[in-house]
Amino acid sequence: MSSLSPKLRDKKLSQISIPGTHNSGSYPIKIGSPMTNLDYYLSGLADQNGEISPSLMNFVRVVGPGWTKCQDYSIAEQLRMGHRYLDLRVYCDEDEYFLHHFFVGSNLTNELLNIAEFVGQQVEEVVILHVKSVANCDESSVRRLLQFIEKTFGEKLVRSPREVDFIPTYGQLVENGTTVIVAMSHVQETEKFDWIWDDNRIVDPWANTASEDEIRTFVIDKMGEARQAGTLFVSQVILTATTDDYMAGLTGSGPTDLREMAQTLNKEFGRWIGDLKQLRPNIFNTDFAKKSLIRKIIDMNFKRGSKRKMKGKKRERRKKDD
């Protein structure tokens, strides 16, 4: 974001095109990764008696990681690549905090420290941490997590706006030195932790489809709808695999994992992303995005020709300095 022109600094965060990652902490997942014990995952595997056969569990442990891992790079690397929105699903295991997507992913404590290091070094970069869920955690665990977030980011935390329809500009955040937004749902102590943005301030409709054509239609339709003031909007350009996709991958008649499926979608998205420029783009959530796609999302902030002019001005300044 620090490369944005001065004019864009006056725009609200909801008016800026921002790259982001889906299930950001799933990158370490592999065969052998521990499974979560969350009922809403496991219930789908149970038979009529509520039991899960050992053979099915073994199948899930072997095949599942390839379809639940959504990123190849660590969160620190995601930030360095240009992503500024992170989708975090928290899972508590005794006294430790992890990120998860059916399987246990990265250690959340370490991730928060890495994010803090990044925003400490890159003082003009705004990062949005969207805590989509907090699972297997009791109230005391959640409180300790909030205290750790507060201690880790301190004055960089953006206070939740008091006005329902207010969203700060990028320039306001940088000038105030508050560059970390944390949005969470179902938190009881929002008065004590006044930096927690209500989850309702981030609207992120999910297509829940494995069809590339349906994703394009869904994204365009949702971006074209009227939006509530005071919210950020996430276009989730992601595919959701089905049992048929898993079986097709095993038989060689389809993508072998989510990475392969996502890379095909990302290529198509790169071709039609330009069609979205008139639809008020904001945050784009992707799986396995390469730098070229991230660059296209960022470039949507520039009018045609303006980026070339900016580069020319920079070259002129360098010549003068020489």
pLDDT tens-digit series, residues 177-218: 999 999 998 776 667 899 999 999 999 999 999 999 999 999
Per-residue pLDDT of 76-106, as tens digits, reads 999 999 999 999 999 999 899 999 999 999 9
pLDDT at 306: 53
Q: Residue 85: what are its φ and ψ, rounded to 5°? A: -125, 125
pLDDT at 45: 78
Q: Is 98 helix (H, G, I), strand (E, B) or coil?
A: strand
Give the span between the Cα atoms of 274 and 270, in whole angstroms.
Answer: 8
pLDDT at 321: 44
Which residues, including other chains, have CB under 8 Å from residue 108's CB and lie 6 or more apart?
25, 88, 90, 97, 98, 99, 145
pLDDT at 39: 73
pLDDT at 225: 93
Q: Residue 179: what are its φ and ψ, rounded to 5°? A: -125, 10
pLDDT at 136: 93
Tokens of 19: 């790259």
Tokens of 289: 């995005």
Residue ranges of the chain whose pLDDT lies below 50: 308, 310, 313-314, 317-322
* Contact criterion met (CB below 8 Å) for 164 and 187: no
pLDDT at 11: 94
